[in-house]
């Protein structure tokens, strides 16, 4: 009779430990699933034109001749 009580207690302990682990996993993973996923890089709207970059990229040929002649 004592062995059946011990066996029953072991099974109960295993069930309790298993339920505890499941509860910890659910609680720890639930906040992560609620967050919205944002891309690491924010891309500008396609309608925005970046003209200042194009203007900076244009080089006057006279300036190049002055740099090369220096």
Q: In the prediction, which pLDDT does 5 show?
A: 93
- pTM equals 0.43
pLDDT tens over the chain, length 70 residues: 889 999 999 999 999 999 999 999 999 888 777 666 666 676 666 666 655 554 555 656 666 566 555 5
Sequence spans of domains, the chain: 1-35
Residue with tokens 């509860």, as numbered in its chain: 23
How crowded is the C-beta side of 33, counted as CA atoms within 13 Å?
Answer: 6
pLDDT score at 47: 65
Terminal Cα-to-Cα distance of the chain (whole angstroms): 104
For tokens 């009580």, what's the residue?
5
Residue 11 in tokens: 């099974």
pLDDT at residue 30 in the model: 82
Q: Is the dihedral of CA 59, 65, 66, 69 positive or negative?
A: positive
Instruction: Look up residue 66 and give its DSSP letter.
Output: H
């Amino acid at each position: 009779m004592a062995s059946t009580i011990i066996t029953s207690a072991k099974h109960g302990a295993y069930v309790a430990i298993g339920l505890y682990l499941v509860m910890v996993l659910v609680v720890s993973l639930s906040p992560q699933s609620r967050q919205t996923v944002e891309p690491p890089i924010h891309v500008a709207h396609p309608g925005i034109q970046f003209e200042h970059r194009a203007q900076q990229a244009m080089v006057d040929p006279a300036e190049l001749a002055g740099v090369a002649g220096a």
